[in-house]
Amino acid sequence: QSVLTQPPSVSGAPGQRVTISCTGSSSNIGAGYDVHWYQQLPGTAPKLLIYGNSNRPSGVPDRFSGSKSGTSASLAITGLQAEDEADYYCQSYDSSLSGHYVFGTGTKVTVL
Amino acid sequence: QITLKESGPTLVKPTQTLTLTCTFSGFSLSTSGVGVGWIRQPPGKALEWLALIYWDDDKRYSPSLKSRLTITKDTSKNQVVLTMTNMDPVDTATYYCAHLLVGATTDYFDYWGQGTLVTVSS
């Protein structure tokens, strides 16, 4: 029961910029909890892509960037590459019901 | 180097109890500010967070599955165990365990296991 809503799919040509939204509510993103992003390549486990709204772990290319505003967050991929074709998930913490973690509904990025 | 690996049955029957073990290395679950969580993913579907245990033995559960889940840790063995009762075919999924870093407003999963596929069928 995801409480973070993402578009099911986005697509772009190589080199283009795409963005993925993650919409939450006043008990998670809007409450000040950070948003994190994960990339899941086909057949593999998720990998941390962005943490703390906009920070990249070591080794993540700088064409990936994140932002947060109000009850939403966004992931941007600039200079889209074929290897970026994957599923992307946002994640945050929700303070309702004794507190729990939540993932987004997931977005499939297709490189045309 | 942090690694995690899930283990358990690949096939369970409806109504049975599933027990999964996450064996990890490269960190201690007695260290302040860390946790281990379980996340699952039905085939072709999104990630779903299930449960988490913190270094201080505090626990959190998915509100929708709380009545069926139990998470425990064995710090000496570097293991975290998840049990899920009354399994149903809709619980068929790949189950992941992951290392959590805890902050003031920023808890995130920075290392993941490879996942284990559990099928529920008679």
Within 8 A by CB and 6+ apart from A69, the residues are none
d(Cα A50, Cα B110) in Å, to the nearest integer?
10
pLDDT digits (tens, 9 = 90+) for B2-14: 999 999 999 999 9
Calculate the CA B61 to chain-centre distance: 10
Per CB-CB distance under 8 Å, the chain A contacts of B47 are: 38, 40, 46, 89, 91, 103, 106
Does the CB of B5 have a partner CB in chain A at under 8 Å?
Answer: no
How many residues does this entry show for chain A? 112
Q: Does B104 touch chain A (CB under 8 A)?
A: no
For residue B64, the tally of other CB atoms under 10 A from its CB is 12
The span from the CA of B26 to the CA of B78, in Å, is 9
Within 13 Å of residue A75, how many CA atoms lie on the same side as its CB? 31
pLDDT tens, position by position, for chain A (112 residues)? Answer: 568 999 999 999 999 999 999 999 999 999 999 999 999 999 999 999 999 999 999 999 999 999 999 999 999 999 999 999 999 999 999 988 888 999 999 999 999 9
Helix (H, G, I), strand (E, B) or coil at A40: strand
DSSP 8-state assignment for residue A39: E
Q: What is the pLDDT of residues B53-89, one digit of tens each?
A: 999 999 999 999 999 999 999 999 999 999 999 999 9
Among B109, B110, B116, B117, which would you mutate to test the A interface (most chain A Cβ atoms within 10 Å of its Cβ)? B109
